[in-house]
């Protein structure tokens, strides 16, 4: 979701300045787990995990599914000292993910070693980054497969729009 109107947010680098000043860790929850700069594909800029780390966040949390395109999981990355403290919590054992989830997550993350491969093979990224030409080609292929149904209904290709929606990119 996104709160609109008379609101204001603080950038992570500003929070990091306060964190240093008061010796407090800065934790940023990105939610969606974007790894690529999606603005290159016509979408609005969404902070990436690496952006948050580079701006000084001590801990960054995000989803394994949503924009990342992997299995459903909560992911925590950041400075070793804070990760080690979290690992000592008794709930860690109960909340850890299973081996299959780890394997699926590893396979997804390996695709990101080659941005173009990730864009083409991770379904979420693939669909979000289709060009108009690719969409037209897909709609024409579908139309050719169902054109015979025109005797029962009026089927045609028309321009439209849709939203990514959800917590990842609610206004896109």
Would you state the pLDDT for residue 42? 84
H or E element in which residue 31 lies: strand 27-31
pLDDT of residue 166: 64
Q: Are strands 74-78 and 27-31 parallel, antiparallel or unpaired?
A: unpaired
Where the chain has pLDDT below 50, the residues are: none
Stated pTM of the model:
0.82
Structure token digits, residue 171: 């206004």
Q: Tell me the helices (H) and strands (E) count for the chain, helix number first.
A: 8, 3
Q: What is the predicted pLDDT for the residue at 167?
A: 63
Question: What pLDDT does residue 94 have?
Answer: 83
pLDDT 10s digits, 50-66: 999 999 999 999 999 98
Alpha helix positions (H), the chain: 12-22, 49-54, 80-87, 91-95, 99-111, 115-121, 123-128, 132-146
pLDDT at site 38:
87
Question: What domains does the chain contain, in order, with CATH numbers?
Answer: 12-151 (3.40.640.10)
The whole-number pLDDT of residue 33 equals: 83
């Amino acid at each position: 979701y996104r709160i609109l109107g008379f609101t204001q947010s603080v950038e992570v680098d500003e929070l990091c300045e306060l964190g240093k000043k008061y010796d407090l860790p800065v934790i940023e929850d990105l939610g969606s787990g974007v790894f690529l700069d999606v603005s290159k594909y016509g979408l609005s800029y969404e902070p990436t995990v690496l952006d948050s780390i580079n701006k000084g966040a001590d801990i960054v949390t995000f989803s394994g599914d949503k924009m990342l395109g992997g299995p459903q999981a909560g992911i925590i990355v950041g400075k070793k000292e804070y990760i080690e403290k979290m690992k000592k919590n008794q709930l860690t054992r109960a909340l850890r993910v299973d081996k299959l989830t780890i394997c699926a997550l590893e396979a997804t993350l390996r695709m990101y070693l080659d941005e173009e491969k990730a864009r083409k093979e991770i379904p979420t990224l693939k669909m979000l980054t289709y060009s108009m030409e690719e969409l037209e080609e897909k709609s024409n292929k579908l139309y050719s497969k169902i054109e015979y149904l025109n005797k029962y209904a009026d089927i045609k290709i028309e321009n439209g729009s849709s939203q990514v929606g959800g917590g990842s990119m609610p206004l896109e």
